[in-house]
Amino acid sequence: MTGSPNWYEIIMTGIAERLDKYRSFKLFLDICVRWGACADKCHFYIGSGDPKNMPVLRAELLRSIYRRDFTTAGKLFGKFAGGRKLTPLIIKEWFYYFYQCTECRRCSVFCPYGIDTAEITIMARELLNLIGCQIDWIITPVANCYQTGNHLGIQPHAFKEILDFLLDDIETNTGVKMEPTFNRKGAEILFLTPSGDVFADPGIYTAMGYMILFHYLDLDYTWSTYASEGGNFGFFTSHEMMKRLNSKMYAEAKRLGVKWILGGECGHMWRVINQYMGTMNEPADFLEVPKSPITGTVFDNASQIKMVHIAQFTADLIKNNKLNLDKSRNDYLKVTWHDSCNTSRGMGFLEEPRYVLKNVVNNFYEMPPNTIREQTFCCGSGSGLNAGENMDIRLRGGLPRANAVKHVHDKHGVNCLGCICAIDRAVLTASMDFWVPGVRVAGLHELVANALVLEGENERTTNLRGEEIADLMEENEE
């Protein structure tokens, strides 16, 4: 071991401190009966067959250390009680396996005590951070987000430029010119989305979708370049780092004097917003309870944190007949729906996106019930594992999800995987190309915008990706 010479003490005090701060941590280390209900629920175990990827064993990697040094049985019986002494080798083992957990919480659904291995992973990563072990793909985005406003380190002028490119594409494909605003004080709504949406293919089509919808509604909204990141890689680092990055959302809303915040499609962003944001920050009294300016609907399930998910916002518009939608424009697609882990198991956001989806496409097929909704499988690349260098693990972890897609692909000819997560959009594309070629990945609002009939639009012969719709339809007939 290089680095901190007192790494052992740092980890041990780190464990002690977290035991006192988090009941979840203490309890989950104590009460597991090692019955293994969780064992084959983890996509990494299913995809790799590596026994240390069974959630119960992943937790045991840390639990065994805890047991030896923090419990009576362990102090008395040592390894007979399942205790292990922390060694540099174990640190390496931690590094290997706690970065093979995407904190997806699927195991927690099946555990009779709700033991959430993600919670253990979060703590283990905090501990590893204390001695300087972290992966570049997490720590660089965190630094960027802190300093520049978003994970990709896009500077303010470039951020605007990128969106201008997207606006040009929108104009080419729809014939409509739009002019969103940035950092505008006094707007009614602040819109925040993960930067993956403005940067990476196919997320950009979803970003176009948002702007088209807002233009259609003539919504009084603004983007922010300072808080230009909805996602939060700090969450994959430590609770403290999550808070440091998250604080920008409310700070910017306050500075701009908006009434409420609208959030884009993202998974872990919404886990943080739903489960942590209200607690981490001072009460957002400077905002109003969100109310749709179009339908007048008050979003009272967001009465305290004052931030609304765009799929909920859109579902309300459709329910109130505010959108002129031509579903048939998406007829070349046979769509299935991927529930993102975070919005499913950290929020329960299941029906809102489905309602929107069913109103913008004609062909929708669900995957098998044990692979969707609260039992959904992770894309395999969450919690900061979405780098190309992790491709091997990603494809293994992506197997269960891909396999379920393959099932509906073979059975119904599904050729599009819809989702509401920016990481999903980027990584599932790779997973599909490998496991189920011929299936594209699309964000919900890409599909919405393709179906949305705009005032003054052109023939709409192409979709937002610039593909000829007639060709796609024909291809599909064959």
Partner 1 sequence: MNIISSFLLSFLAGIALIVIAWAGALTNLQGLFGVVLPYIAITTFVAGVVYRVLNWAQSPVPFRIPTTCGQEKSFPWIKANCIENPSSTLGVVIRMAFEVLTFRSLFRGTTVELRGGPKLDYRSTKWLWMAALGFHYSFLMIFFRHFRFFTEPIPALVHLAENMDSFFEVTVPALYISDGLLMACVTYLLIRRVIIPQVRYISLPADYFPLFLILAIGTTGILMRYILKVDVVSIKELAMGLVTFHPAVPKGIGSLFYIHLFLVCVLIIYFPFSKLVHLGGVFLSPTRNLANNNRQVRHVNPWNYPVKVHTYAEYEDDFREKMIEAGLPVEKELSDEKE
Min dist CB 426 to partner 1, Å, is 23
Residue 110 or 365: which CB sits closer to ligand HEM? Answer: 110
Q: State the helix-helix crossing angle for 203-217 and 156-174, rounded to 10 degrees.
A: 70
How many angstroms separate the CA atoms of 419 and 335, rounded? 10
For ligand HEM, the binding residue among 9, 21, 35, 186 (CB under 6 A) is 35
> Rg for the chain (alpha carbons), in Å?
23
Residue 45 near residue 53 (C-beta atoms within 8 A):
yes
Min dist CB 237 to partner 1, Å, is 12
Binding string, residues 94-133; x marks residues near ligand HEM by CB under 6 A: ------------------x---------------------
Query: What, of partner 1, ligand HEM, ligand SF4, none, does residue 215 touch, CB below 5 to 8 Å by kind?
Result: none
Interface positions, 441-470, toward partner 1 (CB under 8 A): none
Residue 38 or 426: which CB sits closer to ligand SF4? Answer: 38
3-state helix/strand/coil string of 92-136: HHHHHHHCCCCCCCHHHHHCCCCCCHHHHHHHHHHHHHHCCCCCH
Min dist CB 89 to partner 1, Å, is 17
Of 132-140, 345-353, 438-446, 459-467, the window that binds partner 1 (rule: CB under 8 A) is: 345-353
Instruction: Kindly give, in sequence order, each residue whose CB lies less than 8 Å from that of residue 274, ignoring residues fewer than 6 positions away.
Output: 346, 347
Residue 228 near residue 162 (C-beta atoms within 8 A):
no
How many angstroms separate the CA atoms of 188 and 276, rounded? 24
Cis (ω within 30 of 0) for the bond into 51? no
Interface positions, 65-84, toward ligand HEM (CB under 6 A): none
- Strand 335-338 and strand 440-443: pairing? unpaired
For partner 1, the binding residue among 303, 324, 328, 461 (CB under 8 A) is 303
Phi, psi of 33, deg, nearest 5? -95, 5
Residue 231 near residue 266 (C-beta atoms within 8 A):
yes
- Is 33 a binding residue for ligand HEM by CB under 6 A? The answer is yes
Residue 113 or 434: which CB sits closer to ligand SF4? Answer: 113
User: Terminus-to-terminus CA distance in the chain, angstroms?
Assistant: 60
For partner 1, the binding residue among 4, 6, 96, 112 (CB under 8 A) is 112
Residue 406 or 412: which CB sits closer to partner 1? Answer: 406
Site residues (vs ligand SF4, CB under 6 A)? 32-38, 41-42, 44, 55-56, 58, 101-107, 111, 113, 115, 117-118, 121, 378
- Is 434 a binding residue for partner 1 by CB under 8 A? The answer is no
Helix, strand and coil content of the chain, in percent to the nearest 5, comes to 55, 5, 35
Min dist CB 31 to ligand HEM, Å, is 10
Q: Concatenated DSSP letters for 440-475? A: EEEEHHHHHHHHB--TT-----B-TT--BHHHHHHH
Residue 50 or 433: which CB sits closer to ligand SF4? Answer: 50
How many angstroms separate the CA atoms of 74 and 78, rounded? 5
Residue 303 or 328: which CB sits closer to partner 1? Answer: 303
- Is 470 a binding residue for ligand HEM by CB under 6 A? The answer is no
For partner 1, the binding residue among 65, 305, 393, 417 (CB under 8 A) is 305
If DSSP codes are grouped into helix, strand and coil, which group holds residue 332? coil
Min dist CB 43 to ligand SF4, Å, is 6
Residue 41 or 248: which CB sits closer to ligand SF4? Answer: 41
How many angstroms separate the CA atoms of 329 and 337, rounded? 18
Query: What, of ligand SF4, partner 1, ligand HEM, none, does residue 425 touch, CB below 5 to 8 Å by kind?
Result: none
Interacting residues with ligand HEM (CB under 6 A): 33, 35, 112
